């Protein structure tokens, strides 16, 4: 079987990382086309891949006959149009989160895919492919902790881009814990509350950082998340589940522990999500490529998962303004 020809749209940090990944570590696929609104950047990335072309218009790239599947790493506001084009051309697509930037258009995308009767969209919630999250999920599914009751999470970034505002902490960062909650507990989130402690004085003015999120799931499970994106330290993502018969924690960065002069000990924390979740991205993309080549097209979070996450984040942004718990409004489930 010949290699899957992938168009990577958007070659900023994440897209360029995916191009390198597909070119050097993924079996059965190659990048045939790249696109970016910064033409020079697209040319630079294309030059690193033998036989790769730049196509200036993302919709032309999707339609191109040299493209079997699409990896979307473009800015969120462009996703709706690009996803609909992928559906129109029946091209499988791995879409970095968010599915789209609002709930109404996310639901529209889900509906269009259901109307097609053909699953084509996978959403890039990469944590589901991380070995530690997969182990935690297996432990819970095997009932080893008894029924899970509570989850405590910390999500810390050393810094974020200058365009980050308080609502992006919800939609861009907390969204991962939204998906992790739905993935680990296998149920929807019923309400969200965002509590705003005193803001970090070294954060950009007006940025509400840190934030404490509280989710209540449909069956009443409690999840709390500290999201703190200007720590100046390193990348830290920890998750602890407490069940009726024990607890389990992941994300302790327990690699090499060194003891040295003058009487210190310790290891290293990963600097960013690219390193922390590097293995997860590799596994995610390899499984997606294998799924597309087998005709299944999707092996991971679906368009519905992207829509459900958008609905929780929208309620979260409302709570950020009011400080009160906000109920999550979800449409009747369609698709899978
Ligand atoms: C970024 O977009 C990511 O997806 C990272 O995983 C997350 O930690 C970060 O907060 C986001 O901005």
- Section 275-291 average pLDDT: 98
> pLDDT by residue (tens digit) across 291-306?
999 999 999 999 999 9
Q: How many helices (H) and strands (E) does the chain have?
A: 11, 15
* Within-domain flag for 135: yes
Are 15 and 100 contained in the same domain? Answer: yes
* Within-domain flag for 334: no
- Section 199-209 average pLDDT: 95
Q: How many domains does the chain have?
A: 2
Are 61 and 177 contained in the same domain? Answer: no
Pocket probe mutation, ligand 1, options 12, 127, 153, 172, max atoms within 8 Å of Cβ: 172
Mean pLDDT, the chain, whole residue set: 97
Sign (positive or negative) of CA dihedral 69, 75, 78, 80:
positive
Are 138 and 242 contained in the same domain? Answer: yes
**Quick one: which of 251, 237, 240, 106 has its CA closest to 174?**
237
* Within-domain flag for 155: yes
Are 210 and 236 contained in the same domain? Answer: yes
Are 189 and 317 contained in the same domain? Answer: yes
Q: For residue 12, report the phi and psi dihedrals to the nearest 5 degrees.
A: -75, -155
Sign (positive or negative) of CA dihedral 37, 43, 45, 49:
positive
Are 282 and 317 contained in the same domain? Answer: no
- Residue 336, pLDDT above cutoff 80: no
- Residue 226, pLDDT above cutoff 80: yes
What atom in ligand 1 is closest to the CA of residue 160? 12
**8 Å CB contact between 307 and 114:** no
* Within-domain flag for 335: no
Are 42 and 107 contained in the same domain? Answer: yes
* Within-domain flag for 108: yes
Q: Given pLDDT bands bounded at 50, 70 and 90, which one contains residue 1?
A: confident
What pLDDT score was predicted for residue 335? 79
Are 246 and 262 contained in the same domain? Answer: yes
Q: What percent of the chain has pLDDT over 90?
A: 98
Q: Which CATH number does the domain housing residue 200 bear? A: 3.30.360.10
Residue 212 to residues 34, 151, 220, 312, 320: CA-CA distances in angstroms? 38, 13, 18, 15, 10
In short, whether 121's Cβ falls inside 6 Å of ligand 1 is: no
Are 186 and 228 contained in the same domain? Answer: yes
Range of the domain at 111: 4-124+278-302
Are 209 and 110 contained in the same domain? Answer: no
Are 259 and 180 contained in the same domain? Answer: yes
* Within-domain flag for 197: yes
172 CA from centroid of ligand 1 (Å) = 6
In short, whether 176's Cβ falls inside 6 Å of ligand 1 is: yes
Q: Which CATH number does the domain housing residue 81 bear? A: 3.40.50.720
Are 182 and 263 contained in the same domain? Answer: yes
CA angle 73, 271, 251 (to 5 degrees): 95
> What is the C-alpha to C-alpha distance for residues 27 and 111, in angstroms, rounded to an integer?
32
Q: What is the 3-state secondary structure (H, E, C) of 33-91?
A: EEECCCHHHHHHHHCCCCCCEECCCHHHHHHCCCCCEEEECCCHHHHHHHHHHHHHCCC
What pLDDT score was predicted for residue 74? 98
* Within-domain flag for 333: no
- Section 308-326 average pLDDT: 97
> What is the C-alpha to C-alpha distance for residues 181 and 55, in angstroms, rounded to an integer?
38
* Within-domain flag for 332: no
- Section 256-270 average pLDDT: 93
**8 Å CB contact between 276 and 238:** no
180 CA from centroid of ligand 1 (Å) = 13
**8 Å CB contact between 190 and 325:** no
- Section 193-220 average pLDDT: 97
């Amino acid at each position: 079987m010949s290699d899957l020809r992938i168009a990577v749209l958007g070659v900023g940090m994440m897209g360029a990382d995916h191009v390198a990944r597909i070119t050097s570590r993924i079996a059965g696929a190659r990048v045939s086309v790249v696109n970016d609104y910064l033409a020079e950047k697209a040319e630079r990335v294309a030059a690193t891949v033998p036989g790769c072309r730049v196509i200036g218009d993302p919709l032309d790239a999707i339609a191109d006959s040299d493209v079997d599947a699409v990896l979307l790493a473009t800015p969120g506001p462009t996703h709706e149009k690009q996803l609909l084009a992928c559906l129109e051309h029946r091209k499988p697509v791995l879409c970095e989160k968010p599915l789209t930037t609002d709930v109404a258009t996310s639901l529209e995308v889900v509906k269009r895919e259901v109307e097609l009767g053909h699953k084509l969209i996978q959403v890039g919630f990469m944590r589901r492919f991380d070995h530690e999250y997969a182990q935690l999920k297996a432990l819970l599914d095997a009932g080893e902790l008894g029924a899970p009751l509570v989850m405590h999470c910390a999500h810390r970034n050393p810094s974020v881009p200058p365009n980050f505002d308080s609502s992006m902490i919800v939609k861009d960062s907390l969204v991962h814990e939204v998906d992790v909650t739905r993935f680990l507990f296998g149920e929807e989130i019923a309400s969200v509350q965002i509590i705003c402690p005193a803001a970090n004085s070294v954060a950009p003015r007006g940025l509400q950082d840190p934030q404490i999120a509280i989710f209540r799931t449909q069956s009443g499970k409690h999840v709390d998340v500290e999201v703190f994106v200007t720590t100046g330290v390193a990348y830290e993502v920890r998750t602890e589940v407490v069940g009726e018969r024990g607890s389990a924690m992941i994300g302790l960065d327990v690699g090499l522990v060194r003891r040295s002069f003058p009487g210190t000990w310790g290891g290293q924390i990963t600097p960013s999500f690219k390193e922390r979740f590097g293995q997860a991205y590799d596994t995610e993309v390899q499984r997606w490529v294998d799924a597309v080549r087998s005709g299944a097209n999707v092996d991971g979070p679906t368009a519905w998962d992207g829509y459900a996450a958008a609905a929780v984040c929208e309620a979260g942004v409302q709570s950020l303004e009011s400080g009160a718990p906000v109920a999550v409004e979800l449409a009747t489930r369609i698709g899978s």
